[in-house]
Amino acid sequence: MINVNSPLPEVSFGVLVDGEVTNPHTNALFSDKKVVLFAVPGAFTPTCSAAHLPGYIALADKLKAKGIDEIMCVSVNDAFVMDAWKQSANADAITMLADANATFTKQIGMDMDTGEFGGVRSLRYSMLVDDGIVKQLNLEDPGRFAVSDAESMLNSL
């Protein structure tokens, strides 16, 4: 599992831009930036849609006022699903990263097998990433939502 002071692995993500899937790499997304990255088990799932994403939307300006350049959400979903979730939640302040094959999620050791519920998914976490290096990691215990929320991240900055 990735640790504080570790670099993020160099992988590509799916991001929908003007209706087209682009595939930016880790380096392009995180270099020379201070980023809050949070991961959810799945777009449109209950806790993710009711609390996790809305919290980051509501506190985006306050996070940016604390020096955060960008807020990103990653999930093991495709770019079209991530964009639809972004549109439905009015999440313009959040960059949605699709990790469709769980490549990133597996490389950082944050994958879990949910069986017939959805297969391989991401654990719920948040991290502060500075120039591609993990500076803070907030991993949730299974079934919990207590440390990866936007308020906790804001309070830690």
Q: Which residues are part of the catalytic machinery?
A: 48
Among 157, 153, 156, 136, residue whose Cα is nearest residue 58 = 153
Q: How far is Cα of residue 58 from the mean position of the Cα atoms in its chain?
A: 16
For residues 60 and 94, the answer to whether their CB atoms sit within 8 Å is yes
Burial class (CB in 10 A: 0-12, 13-18, 19+), 127: buried
What is the enclosing helix (H) or strand (E) of 91? none
What is the enclosing helix (H) or strand (E) of 40? none
